[in-house]
Chain A
């Protein structure tokens, strides 16, 4: 386990440290107040478990290595219901195993964070190489239909920040939030200055204040989210993965099921503005753009810099929130682009969404065709700035 010694983070002046992406995720989790981690080793995410196995006992937090990933997601859901800020970290194969549990956390509305440091797939695939091929799995992986909150940073510092945000959103929206990373991001080292802990905004789940007899932990309200009690604190509530009524009891009544399913959908879709984060880079006067996330967006940014030097009006749009997909932002920034290059390490998962939002290649407002060019790599290598630049020169 090669890593920096973890500093006491309450120090006055934040110093610059050299840090790995996975380390930043572990430290971000600690900053967010994680006090329960259950996991099963898998490359390239293991450092997160290793660091937390060292740090959590020091703070009285709980670390447990489970027998597999199904057990890991199950344990964090159990712990969260007992009041924990709980998390697990894995990669492709383990992420697949966790899907049933992730669906449970969404259905039963149990806050938790699942980190997936993406590696090449399918199957055992490329354990030590990056990919971005779980973008769709993160959205549609569990059976049943309900939206997902999925974040994807592109730097070590952002890995730290978005881990905190993942916890905040999980607590606020009472759901399982997935934080994507990738093998390069997870293992890459960068010099970072972590934000002052006192200035970090932490959101904790709302707990009930009413008498237990009145408590309905799935009651609808204008925000679609009800307070969540913890086991062992006087509210003896029932939790199930079955379709349930306001008190969590199983139901077959269409009206009750519809209320539940609509609420699960609306609590996310009606808070898009709070959830969506994007980065637009040099888009003000751009006529052509690159759309990319995570590790590929770093090549995209560099490509923009190179092309700008050559006088080309090129910009980049990057989603930090992958799901819910930033439909409006994508439309706002990219609709009138003449050419859009979508650069990603998979067979077209982001570009598929982009095309859905754009409604295809016809720009009806300009009565012109736009070019949507897919730059995909699926061989364990990352996309380079030069590849993007060359592609731009080719397609114009």
Chain B
């Protein structure tokens, strides 16, 4: 019998946890999970030093499966919980796994203010254009005109561009990729983890079971093909005419800059009160 290869992912999954996971077949959440784990493996981070925080949603179910310090918090609040952890233990690597609704609807306020502070937290948004967990209501990223269970006649809302939102609010690392581009996604996630400051990786993802079905997007495989065909590296996207741009979206790193990080600024403040011999401790 052929030897079953030991996959990297198995090293990081919780052995005590009862599987199977909650995600539907064809969902992108698993791809993102694999990508996050491969990034962590390659960066050789200490598991004890990683905190993975999420809100509520299909995507936010991720922390329960992985062997880190994990916190499945409240809908929209993951970044605020993560802020508490990062502030108290700045040496920890704190990451947030969140959905488009979790991070930009109910949690929009925490998203923009964490970006403004430039606190060293990495936010990975699994952006599937829908509220998956509650059965398919439209979210702030559901394309205008698309169907959801609460927009049976087509959504009349305008959409958020999560990357532009992050940039506008002051995030110092902002990138977009898709679940199809798993290798690129791993690269961006690594860069985001290594970046000192508030980093956002917007991962366009497929919810074939609800968003895909309601909008006749075809099989999960077809939705992956669409991600490949509809997204373009930023430079190529910029060359398109305004008309052509309507049907495409850019992938790549939009912002990567060094600015003072929040917990470091706080540490500076604390230093003012330390006696000279205590400094550097």
Instruction: Point out residues on A near B: beta carbons under 8 Å.
Output: 35-36, 38, 57-60, 62, 64, 66-68, 70-72, 74-84, 86, 100-101, 104, 231-234, 236-242, 247, 249-250
Contacts and interface: CB of A to CB of B under 8 A. Distances in A.
A84 B92 CA distance: 14
Nearest 6 A-B pairs (CB), nearest first? A78-B84, A74-B80, A75-B84, A79-B84, A78-B81, A240-B72
B266 A62 contact: yes
Contact of B87 (A58, A64, A237): A64
Interface of B: 14, 16-18, 47-49, 51, 53, 63-64, 67-74, 77, 80-85, 87-89, 91-92, 109-110, 113, 266, 269-270, 272-274
A78 B67 contact: no
Contact of A101 (B14, B18, B74): B74
Nearest to A74: B80
12 contacts: A57-B266, A70-B77, A70-B80, A71-B110, A78-B53, A79-B88, A231-B69, A231-B85, A232-B48, A237-B70, A241-B73, A241-B74
B273 A36 contact: no
B281 to A, nearest CB: 10
A5 to B, nearest CB: 15
A256 to B, nearest CB: 11
Contacts of A71: 77, 80, 83, 109-110, 113
Q: Which of A72, A78, A231 has the most CB of B within 10 A?
A: A78
A74 B74 contact: yes
Contacts of B113: 66-67, 71
B74 A36 contact: no
B87 A62 contact: yes
Given A100-B74, A232-B89, A236-B70, A77 B84 contact: yes
Given A236-B67, A238-B64, A68 B109 contact: yes
A343 B71 CA distance: 44
Contact of A74 (B17, B69, B73): B73
A84 B266 CA distance: 16
Nearest to B49: A232
Contacts of A66: 80, 83, 113
A107 B170 CA distance: 34
Contacts of B83: 38, 64, 66, 71, 74-75, 78
Contacts of B68: 236
Contacts of A104: 73-74
A240 B72 CA distance: 5
B219 to A, nearest CB: 30
B64 A249 contact: yes
B123 to A, nearest CB: 14
Contacts of A77: 73, 81, 84
Contacts of B81: 74-75, 77-78
Given A66-B113, A77-B81, A78-B82, 19 more contacts: A36-B84, A38-B84, A58-B273, A60-B273, A60-B274, A64-B266, A67-B110, A78-B73, A78-B81, A78-B84, A81-B84, A82-B92, A84-B84, A104-B74, A232-B48, A232-B69, A236-B69, A239-B72, A247-B16
